[in-house]
Amino acid sequence: MSILRKALTTAALASVLLAGAAQAETKRIALVVKALGIGFFEAAAKGAEEAAKELGDVEIIYTGPTDTTAEGQIEVINALIAQGVDAIAISANDPDAVAPALKKAMDRGITVISWDSGVAKDGRQMHLNPSSSPLIGNMIIKLAADNLPEGGEVAVLSATSTSTNQNTWIAEMNKVMGNYPGITVVGTVYGDDLADKSYREAQGLMQTYPNLKAIIAPTSVGIVAAAQAVTDAGKAGQINVTGLGLPSEMAGHVKSGASKSFAIWNPIDLGYAAATIAYNLSNGATAEAGGTIAMGRMGDVTLDDNLEGAMADPFVYDASNVDEFASIF
Amino acid sequence: MTPSYRVIPDRLVSPFAKALKSWESLLLIVAVAIFIANALASPYFLNAWNLSDATFNFTEKAMIAFAMAMLIIAGEIDLSVAAIIALASTMMGVAMTMGFGTPVLVLVGLGTGLACGAFNGTIVARLGLPSIVVTIGTMSLFRGISYIILGDQAFTGYPADFAWFGQGYVVWVITVELVVFAALAVAFGVLLHRTSFGRQVYVIGNNPVAAQFSGVNVARVKFILFLLTGLMAGVAAVCLTSRLGSTRPSIATGYELEVVTMVVLGGVNILGGSGTIPGVVIAAFVMGLVTFGLGLLNVPGIVMSIFIGLLLIGVIALPRLWAMRRRRA
């Protein structure tokens, strides 16, 4: 072999190796959602793209099945494994059914996390909840208290008396009541997450407690019904309806003054945090009980024994931003 | 001098020419074209493990499609197959919670499939009701029972050796499901094309009255076909449950339409009377290759559905257009 030829071969080999290295530097993170075409997830993808721009060397693959089926998600996961993506961040349609496919992904060296809707513990490295029960419990009473500097009577309009989520949040709210002196919770009623029953229960609250200053509804059905009841009674501006609701359903009530502010997770932040965590884990960070993982501008997430973590306080929506999010979800 | 012979052909068209013009060869060309297109479009396609993963996109559906093809050739249809999977999977889950091991679970899955098939078959064949109406009814019935048993819960924790059916490999990249698929393809091919039972199926599809007068027990053949379809749904239920490692009542949602699509794409006349098993086998590969290939390119699922729809309309409309043109010429 001539020297020239040897040199050329070496150069070719080196360029191939270099090209390979350059390609390996770009992290490909797949954001797998329950189904495409859902505003909430489109917003999360926007957040993930924001993270990609910030991190620089990241390509986001936003994908998901047409229908919210586990089988459809598994086909998507298999295609992602085949492409050898660096990380998969999934909001699962079924916590158990997708676990074997995700285990296979982890066996092949892919970082796997779940966000929003979790995966069974052995099918992911960590799970990111949008918020936590203590944070939500604190937020719903804080929203009411912030608009009542002199204190006053507030009431809770919940879903059903057996709703696990709502009961946990209300229990957490009661734990922090001491931080909000002057605020008294005069009663809790149940609208069963039905619009008409929630509406009647809200009317009942206004009649029973003439000094009522706020209604806290930690349910998206209840908060809309309560706001409508307050508006219909001509008490918009006197009784503040707050709690957890969807911007698209609440925008009108915020404008009418029936609701000064309410909260729910911010899907953009959630997508941003999921992408950042996936990036950090695939770059050597480890997910272990009690440890923390950086989430860029969202701070750090602390993992519990189940390797789950909460992103942040629920995001507050008021007249200044509700319109912007109303078109998203 | 040798005497000159005058050859009188026993066929007007040679079997070779006939095979060339057949539906199956057209489909095979489509399959090869898609395979080549995939290989050119994605660098990840030509990889034994990836192709092995891709077979899961069609194996379970194809198992049912073989039996469904015979049923449709005989002029009937079974739209309850996905619901049978759900019920069979649920029954396996019930057996699992009672502490039974893998052999019993498999028997329960197959047994449930047979029972559902017998139920459909009895109503259609003995009472003479239209199968499309009957199986739309049993579709809700079977899945309904599954929802009553499970509600929003899931069966998880199947025994470890049960995972072999849906996650195991026989040798190298050849999955257990692929072997089951191949064995069933041969079995159904022989049954339809090499037995008198198979001939009876064609006769019934072409003219059930003539079949009856020719001494074919139409009701019995139809009953057996429903039984077989139920059994195949049971086999698919074992594979799918094993692959997912869990059961939810929403399992296999929408499979019935994909199975029928596969059968029609395989050249089976939806009105009955004609079609082949090799056609269905190639159609299974075509659908699997299309979904996996587009998945590798991260094409959104809805575009995939549009593609499958166009493919179906295309392959059905082309021969018709061809025939119309020839008639005009």
For residue A16, the chain B residues in CB contact (below 8 A) are: none
Residue A241: helix, strand or coil by DSSP? Answer: strand
CATH architecture assignment, domain A133-264: 3-Layer(aba) Sandwich (3.40)
Residue B214 included in any domain: yes
CB contact under 8 A, B57 and A61: no
Spell out which residues of chain B touch residue A70, defining contact as CB-CB under 8 Å.
Answer: 244, 248, 250-251
* B94 is a domain residue: yes
Backbone φ and ψ of A28, nearest 5°: -105, 115
Which of A82, A95, A99 has the CB atom closest to B53's CB atom?
A: A82
Question: Residue B294: closest CA among chain A residues belongs to which residue?
Answer: A79
pLDDT band per the 50, 70, 90 thresholds, residue B19:
low
Structure confidence at residue A16 (pLDDT): 43
The whole-number pLDDT of residue A12 equals 46
Confidence at residue B1, expressed as pLDDT on a 0 to 100 scale: 53
Give me the percent of chain A exceeding a pLDDT of 90: 57
Asked if pLDDT for residue B54 goes beyond 50, the answer is yes
**When comparing pLDDT for A23 and A77, which is higher?**
A77
- Looking at residue B69, its pLDDT comes to 97
Assess contact for A219 and A160: CB atoms under 8 A.
Answer: no
Let me know: does A98 contact A70? Beta carbons within 8 Å: yes
Domain boundaries, chain A: 24-130+267-312, 133-264
Question: pLDDT-derived band of residue B8, with 50, 70 and 90 as boundaries?
Answer: low
Q: Is B69 within a domain?
A: yes
Chain B residue with minimal CA distance to A93?
A: B250
| Structure confidence by residue, pLDDT tens digits, B182-213 | 999 999 999 999 999 999 999 999 999 999 99
Q: Which residues of A touch B251 (CB under 8 A)?
A: 70-71, 97
Q: Average pLDDT of chain B?
A: 91
Cβ <8 Å between A96 and B291: no
CATH number at residue B96: 1.10.3470
Tell me if B157 is assigned to some domain. yes
Question: What pLDDT digit, counting tens, does each position of B145-155 carry?
Answer: 999 999 878 89
Return the pLDDT at B327: 75
B299, closest residue in chain A (CA to CA): A63
**CA closest to B156 among chain A residues:** A96
Mean pLDDT of A42-66: 92
Rounded CA separation A59/A28 (Å): 5
Contact B250 A69 (CB under 8 A): yes
| Interface probe with A: pick from B42, B50, B173, B305, most Cβ of A within 10 Å | B50
pLDDT of residue A125: 94
Model pLDDT for residues A151-207, shown as the tens digit of each residue = 899 999 998 887 778 888 999 999 999 899 889 999 999 998 888 999 999 999 999
pLDDT (mean) for B10-28: 72
pLDDT band, residue B24 (cuts 50/70/90): confident
SS (H, E, C) A102-161: HHHHHHCCCEEEEECCCCCHHHCCEEEECCCHHHHHHHHHHHHHHCCCCCEEEEEEECCC
What pLDDT does residue B88 have?
98
CA proximity to B193, closest of B13, B65, B66, B14: B66
The Cα B106–Cα B228 span in angstroms is: 16
pLDDT band at A37 (very low <50, low <70, confident <90, very high): confident
| pLDDT for the residue numbered B318 | 76
Residue B234 domain boundaries: 49-318
Mean pLDDT of the region B223-248: 96
In a domain, B44, yes or no: no
Q: Is the pLDDT of residue A3 over 60?
A: no
Residue B23 has pLDDT above 60, yes or no: yes
Total number of residues shown for chain B: 329
Domains A24-130+267-312 and A133-264 share a fold: yes
CA atoms within 13 Å, Cβ hemisphere of B50: 21
Q: Give the residue carrying structure tokens 């339809």.
A: B192
Strands (E), A198-239: 212-217
Overall domain count for chain B: 1
What confidence category does residue B308 fall into, taking pLDDT thresholds of 50, 70 and 90? Answer: confident
**How is residue A46 written in tokens?**
């926007």
Report chain A residues touching chain B, CB-CB < 8 A: 35-37, 61, 63-67, 69-72, 74-76, 78-79, 81-84, 94-97, 99-100, 120
B106 belongs to a structural domain: yes
Q: What angle is formed at CA A36 by the lines to CA B258 and CA A195, rounded to 5 degrees?
A: 105
Closest residue to A79, CB basis, from B251, B253, B292: B292
> What does the pLDDT read at residue A19?
43
- The encoded tokens of residue A55 equal 């991190």
Is the pLDDT at B96 greater than 80? The verdict is yes
Which residue in A23, A41, A71 has the most chain B C-beta atoms within 10 A of its own C-beta, making it the best mutation to test that interface?
A71
The CATH code that applies to domain A24-130+267-312 is 3.40.50.2300
Distance CA A127, CA A122 (A): 11
State the nearest Cα–Cα gap between B154 and chain A, in angstroms: 8
What's the pLDDT score for residue A14? 45
